[in-house]
Structure 1
């Protein structure tokens, strides 16, 4: 997990976007040859990208938790539960989407909404922890809304957030 803290923004961008680029390339190529795309590969690459994103978000929150003073630190346990739930949802739901002939259960909507809430909670928690570490005081949503949206729109946000993560967390790596 230290990689996600010490990596450069361009390295993370490539790591995050390569699976999606390959997935889109596979789909585009299959349409060019009038074949159906291999859904297992497409979902596998999408899952890989999401797991890399979740690992990056979890690494930032974990390192912030370690470095924040006890009065400012919030336990990342709920965030980890949210990321694990969202990951499990992606794996289980992909089976339903890859086999549409069986039909989608109506509960999938509820599980999908819960996964979205878990992801939003996780990126909100991480953004707040990062700003609390930077400012050394508690933060309101107004304070951390910038990093929140940058995490949400991560292909753009990685270019702005990762240098901040490198500055705040990497320079103390030798002390940990």
Structure 2
């Protein structure tokens, strides 16, 4: 698992950008997408757990909230992908006629997933920012880290080396 956590930035970039392009657009592709999403969530959770272990005392981040948010988001993604083949809500179609009562489930969960995504960005960026400040006396600007994570496949070129450098440091007792 340590090798999986410390992938090089170009390996993570290829994994996140190139691999999904080759997932087929059929029923087998839906299963592959769910497995791919599961591996991504496990990777994200493990990195954040390792960062959390290295945080200085007194930092107010909730790892349980992150774990619950990402787990619920993944389960929602898996259910939507496996049972409905995904959904597409837009102003150009009669959404209620297509999705019916399910639309009243899709919309709130979509907002919940946006919150979950925002919290995971904050958790990772703030962890990196705080740990760098503690270890090196200086750190990357929090806003730059948030933007790098927001533009994830591209921002990983600058963020993954920081994560690798932090994960090479021993965990303080």
1:15 maps to 2:15: yes
**Unaligned stretches of 5+ residues in structure 2:** 88-96
**Deviation above 4 Å: which 4+ runs of structure 1?**
99-102
From 63, 66, 70, give the equivalent of 1:83: 70
Determine which structure has greater relative contact order: mean sequence separation of CA pairs < 8 Å that are 6+ residues apart, divided by chain length: 2
Cα offset for 1:14?
2.5
Provide structure 1 residue ranges, at least 5 long, that are not aligned to the other structure: 27-36
Aligned residues: CA RMSD: 2.9
C-alpha spacing 1:98/1:170, structure 2 compared with 1 (3 Å): same
Report the alpha carbon displacement of residue 56 of structure 1 after superposing the two structures with TM: 3.2
Matches within 5 A, 1:1-176: 1-23=1-23, 26=24, 37-38=25-26, 40-72=27-59, 74-98=61-85, 103=99, 105-106=102-103, 107-136=105-134, 143-172=141-170
After TM superposition, the score normalised by the length of structure 2 is 0.76
More helix per residue: 1 or 2?
Answer: 1
How far the C-alpha of 1:93 sits from its partner, in A, is: 1.5
Q: How many residues align?
A: 158
**Structure 2 Cα separation of the partners of residues 170 and 58 of structure 1:** 17
